[in-house]
Amino acid sequence: MPAIYSARHERMKYGDIKLYTGSSCPELADRIANYIGLELCDREIVQFPNENLFVQLHSSVRGQDCYAIQTTSSPVHRNLMEMLILLQTLRLDSAARVTAVVPYLCYARSDKKDQPRIPITARLVADMIEVAGADRYMFLDLHAGQIQGFFNIPGDVLTAFYILIEYLKEIKNKMHRPVVVTADLGFAKKARNFAESMDVPLAFIEKRRVSNDSKAQALTMIGDVKDRDVVIVDDEVDTGGSMIQAVNLAKNSGARNIFMVFVHPVFSANAADRLAALPVTEFITTDTIPIPQEKLAKFGGRLKTLSIAPLLGEVILRANEGRSGGELFNE
């Protein structure tokens, strides 16, 4: 056997890459496929009148390295079930390896029992993904890192930090004495990484939240933001309550321009309307969740969406060839 073929065969022990997507993020899946240089594989997804879902692959995946790309944003339960059924379909067709590529994982906030008589739903979702047939997972910026411990299968938890920080470095020269502010003390460590990378100070907003209450009370600004441009960072924006309070508190504390940075644009209910009404210079996020055009229009060009497709595409290539994903981040 020629040495070149032998080495390539050794790297590709799981077969060729096969990319499949549900209906939740087709544009992101297309961008990932374009980065890798492949076409998305054909499949059929049908919802019957009784709301049951049906998935059928249009070609065999026997012995192949399959990736099911599906974000689990709204409609959450439809998208979650689509992903689970797609995973099982790939497993039953004898795929050599099945990876669940989930840019945004639903129920990630339900990660612990902090009240009596409540579930740990993130653990349930992890169990379902495994039982459905996933051999591996790929997530992006989990709300709580301990969710990795709910899985008995290996996986990659990636971060959009480097994508966001590169853009912030590009626009830093346009800012006046910038300072990074975290709207959630639970995000303080990651916020510190933003501040260190930008070489700017860090401030905190103290708030109090009840876990099953979507409203959060911003209390105190810890740090100096007066006469400074403020970069407010968080992992996701759901109803927008925390961010709205953070912006108002920053303005009341004497901040100049405000930049809002977050990974997952969940934008539940009327969050887009409420955020668009804020005195924010620029909203900076990623495409882990598709934003409908009618919501994008509300921001009047102030919302910048950075794509995570090159990151996911590169990690998929490295996983297929048995190379380290950590090398991308010098880890």
Question: Could you give the residue numbers annotated as active site?
Answer: 207
Assess whether the previous peptide bond of 75 is cis (omega < 30° from 0): yes
For residue 3, give every residue at least 6 positions away whose Cβ sits within 8 Å of its Cβ, in sequence order, or none: none
Residue 184 tokens, joined:
């959630």
- The 3-state secondary structure of 79-97 reads HHHHHHHHHHHHHHCCCCE
Q: Cβ distance 132 to 99 under 8 Å?
A: no
Element (H, E) at 34: helix 26-36
Residue 266 tokens, joined:
């969940």
Give buried/exposed letters for 47-56 (b at 16+ CB in 10 A, else e).
eeeeeebebe
User: 279 in helix, strand or coil?
Assistant: coil
User: 170 in helix, strand or coil?
Assistant: helix
The amino acid at 10:
E
CA distance 16 to 298: 42
Beta strands per DSSP E along the chain: 17-21, 43-47, 53-57, 65-69, 97-102, 136-140, 155-158, 179-182, 202-209, 216-222, 230-237, 258-265, 282-286, 303-306
For the packed helices 121-132 and 76-92, what is the interaxial angle rounded to 10 degrees? 30
The amino acid at 220:
T
Q: Which of 47, 34, 95, 45 has the alpha carbon at shortest distance from 70?
A: 45
Q: What is the DSSP letter of 27?
A: H
